[in-house]
Amino acid sequence: MVQLTKTQIVEFFQRSYKTVDGLWFVKVEEKYGFDIALDIDEEVWKVMPKIQARFLKKALKMEQGLEALKECLELRLRLEGFTFETNRIDNGFELMVSECPWHTIMIKSGREHLSEKVGGRICSVEYGVWAKEFGEGIRFELGEGVCKGEGRCVLRFTT
C-alpha cells in the first residue's frame, strides 16, 4: 500500500481547498456572471471564518479576546501559506501581510485585474467575522492591500 507523508497529505488538502474555492467561483461566474459569483462568495466567507475560528479555538483551548484572536489568526495564516508579521499597537495588533496566497492564485490564473474587487470585499467580510468570533468589542479595519498594488495588506484588530 502506498503511503503519503504528513507533508504530502497537508499539501494535498491545501491544494484541494484552494482549487475548489476558485473552481466553484469560476463555474458560478460562467453561469450567472461575476457580480453574482462575488455575492455568493461573500456569503460563503460570512460562514467559513466561523468554522475556522471555532475549530482553532477548540484545538488550541482558547477562549475569547484579542490575544486568542491573534494566536488563532497567526496559525491560520501560517497554515494557508501567508507571509506576514505581527505588530502590537495601542489596544490591539496589526497583521502585515506581504504575500497572500489568494492574490498569487489570482495572478497565476490571469485574473489579477479582479483581485482588488474580490480581495477588498471578501477580506473585509472574512476578518470582520474573525473579530466577532473572539468578542463583540473587537473591531477590524482593513488598511493597505496587496491586491490594490500597495505591497502589503494591513489587517488591524483593536478593542
Task: Tell me if 16 is assigned to some domain.
Answer: no
pLDDT category, 10, cuts 50, 70, 90?
confident
Which grid cell sits at 76? Answer: 491560520
Q: What are phi and psi of 152, to 5 degrees?
A: -160, 160
pTM of the predicted model as reported, rounded to 2 decimal places? 0.89
Q: What is the CATH number of the domain that holds 60?
A: 3.30.1380.20
Sign of CA dihedral 18, 135, 38, 123: negative
Task: Tell me if 126 is assigned to some domain.
Answer: yes
Is residue 35 within 8 A of residue 54, CB to CB? The reply is: no
The total number of structural domains in the chain stands at 1
- Alpha carbon dihedral 70, 159, 99, 30, in 10-degree steps, equals 110
Q: Is the pLDDT of residue 149 over 90?
A: no
Which grid cell sits at 150? Answer: 500597495
Task: Tell me if 117 is assigned to some domain.
Answer: yes
Cα–Cα dist 136/133, whole Å: 8
Task: Tell me if 34 is assigned to some domain.
Answer: no
Per-residue pLDDT of 35-77, as tens digits, reads 999 999 999 999 999 999 999 999 999 999 999 999 999 999 9
Strand residues in 21-137 grouped as ranges (E): 83-89, 92-99
Task: Tell me if 154 is assigned to some domain.
Answer: yes
Cα–Cα dist 66/68, whole Å: 5
pLDDT category, 15, cuts 50, 70, 90?
confident
Task: Tell me which residue has cell 475548489.
Answer: 20
Task: Tell me if 9 is assigned to some domain.
Answer: no
Task: Tell me if 39 is assigned to some domain.
Answer: no
- Tell me which residue range forms the domain holding 125: 45-158
Which of residues 150 and 70 earns the better pLDDT score?
A: 70
Cα–Cα dist 29/24, whole Å: 8
Q: Which candidate, 123, 132, 129, places its Cα nearest to that of 154?
A: 123
Task: Tell me if 101 is assigned to some domain.
Answer: yes
pLDDT category, 22, cuts 50, 70, 90?
confident
Angular region, 144: left φ>0, alpha ψ -120 to 50, beta rest: beta
